[in-house]
């Protein structure tokens, strides 16, 4: 009976997805034809805001819930997957996710901690500081007076994600069969990567372990100015994560940071180098350094938040990255091919000469242009299109690593415009020397 119930729920969910997408398609069509404005006029109501394609897609993903919201967030942050106007609109999903009702938050906490909310916390703010696709964060105070934040998972999210991911796998497999050219983009592999990532993000005990490991690495390296929130294990479970509250400035608040510190370049470089050390020495790196997770703290310290997405490289993979870096820094395009082949990024039957030719065309701006003239929003979409056309498939960790470098580069453009994170010796030589010592 339970299998039949899951099957029927799956059919209902698929119908819901199709109904939602069709509904917003009709709204978008009505907007393009002027029907929404006509309807508002006939009912003597204010003219509605224009409903563009990107807005309609964002609203549809919001209505479909956490799995689709996360899918939209990942698509928005993956350079080259979507046109820029779609990526910019879907980026709003990072901040505009409807919160869970307070009574549901209370129920999750009390079920997991095994006691009333008031027994665990002296104060708990029912209004979330932030709401995301998987969880939301609340300010609270422990009974000993310690200010904390409590990350609470959305109720029922695990079941919803499992059901949605199963359907996404079925859909992508069907599309690959019907449209063979789509196989070059490896959609089934992308969905599987998303499934693995979501599974890790929904395990807050694992995230707590990541936080403690990253903090331990920074302490061993002597990076006392790198701060990771302390985890309170007594109030942490798979669905509830209680941690120290950090007060700081988002790295994207560029004007305020420039007012607070006289040398923002030095702040940025310290943060980047600490992140690189964890990667180079331990194959372990923060995999989501968007602005909300990278803070300037009092005392010129740097804080890292949200360890749900982490990258992990074994020694063999780090060696491949090291050789790739060597080739990149020396503009040895032919030298890039071997480590890419070893990563499995390039199909074995691909002609090496064709790969070298493509890489020369793609990487030429890094070697020939002034840093300020490099337009990543043009280069990386071109790279992704060419990769899809030739069937290149980069490992999840490699893509995740590259994405973080793009985040850091975005901050450097604003705070340290003379620093080219891809070529600056204070960054590249540091990473090169650190990896040489580790390997």
49 exposure class (CB count in 10 Å sphere: 0-12, 13-18, 19+): exposed
Burial of residue 143 (number of CB atoms within 10 Å: 0-12, 13-18, 19+): exposed
* 61: CB partners within 8 A, 6+ apart: 68, 69, 71, 72, 90, 93
319 is catalytic: no
Q: Helix or strand or coil: residue 181?
A: helix
Angle between the N-to-C axes of helices 396-415 and 315-329, in degrees from 0 to 180, rounded to the nearest 10: 50
Angle, helices 187-201/396-415, rounded to nearest 10 degrees: 70
What does the alpha-carbon distance between residue 295 and residue 304 come to, in Å, rounded to a whole number? 6
Interatomic CA distance for residues 379 and 381, integer angstroms: 6
Q: Which of 31, 164, 288, 358 is catalytic?
A: 288
CB atoms within 10 A of CB 356: 15
Helix %, strand %, coil % for the chain, to 5?
Answer: 65, 10, 25
Residues annotated as catalytic (active site), given as ranges: 288
């Amino acid at each position: 009976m339970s299998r039949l119930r899951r099957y029927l729920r799956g059919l209902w969910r698929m119908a819901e997805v199709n109904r939602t997408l069709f509904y917003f398609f009709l709204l978008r069509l009505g907007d393009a034809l002027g029907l929404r404005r006509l309807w508002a006029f006939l009912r003597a109501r204010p003219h509605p805001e224009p409903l563009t394609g990107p807005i309609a897609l964002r609203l549809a993903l919001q209505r479909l819930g956490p799995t689709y919201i996360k899918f939209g967030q990942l698509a928005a942050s993956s350079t080259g997957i979507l046109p820029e106007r779609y990526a910019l609109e879907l980026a709003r999903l990072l901040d505009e996710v409807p919160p869970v009702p307070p009574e549901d938050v209370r129920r999750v906490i009390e079920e997991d901690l095994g006691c009333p909310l008031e027994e665990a916390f002296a104060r708990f703010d029912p209004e979330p500081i932030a709401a995301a696709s998987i969880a939301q964060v609340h300010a609270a105070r422990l009974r000993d007076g310690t200010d904390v934040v409590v990350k609470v998972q959305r109720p029922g999210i695990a079941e919803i994600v499992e059901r949605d991911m199963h359907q996404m796998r079925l859909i992508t497999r069907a599309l690959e069969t019907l449209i063979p050219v789509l196989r070059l983009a490896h959609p089934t592999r992308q969905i599987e990567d998303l499934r693995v990532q979501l599974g890790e993000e929904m395990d807050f005990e694992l995230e707590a372990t990541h936080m403690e490991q990253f903090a331990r690495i920074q302490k061993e390296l002597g990076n006392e100015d790198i701060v990771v929130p302390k985890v309170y294990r007594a109030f942490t479970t798979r669905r509830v994560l209680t941690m120290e509250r950090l007060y700081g400035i988002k790295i994207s608040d560029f004007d305020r940071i420039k007012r607070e510190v006289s040398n923002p370049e030095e702040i940025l470089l310290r943060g980047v180098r600490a992140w690189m050390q964890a990667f180079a020495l331990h194959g372990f790196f923060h995999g989501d350094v968007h602005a909300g997770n990278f803070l300037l703290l009092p005392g010129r310290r740097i804080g890292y938040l949200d360890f749900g997405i982490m990258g992990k490289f074994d020694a063999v993979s780090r060696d491949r990255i090291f050789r790739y870096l060597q080739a990149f820094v020396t503009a040895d395009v032919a030298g890039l091919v071997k480590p890419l082949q070893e990563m499995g990024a390039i199909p074995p039957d691909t002609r090496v000469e064709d790969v070298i030719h493509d890489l020369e065309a793609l990487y030429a701006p890094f070697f020939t242009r002034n840093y300020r003239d490099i337009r990543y929003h043009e280069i990386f979409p071109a790279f992704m299109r060419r990769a899809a056309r030739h069937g290149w498939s980069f490992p999840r960790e490699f893509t995740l690593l590259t994405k973080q470098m793009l985040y850091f580069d975005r901050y450097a453009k604003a705070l340290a415009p003379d620093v080219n994170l891809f070529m600056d010796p204070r960054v590249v030589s540091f990473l090169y020397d650190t990896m040489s010592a580790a390997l």
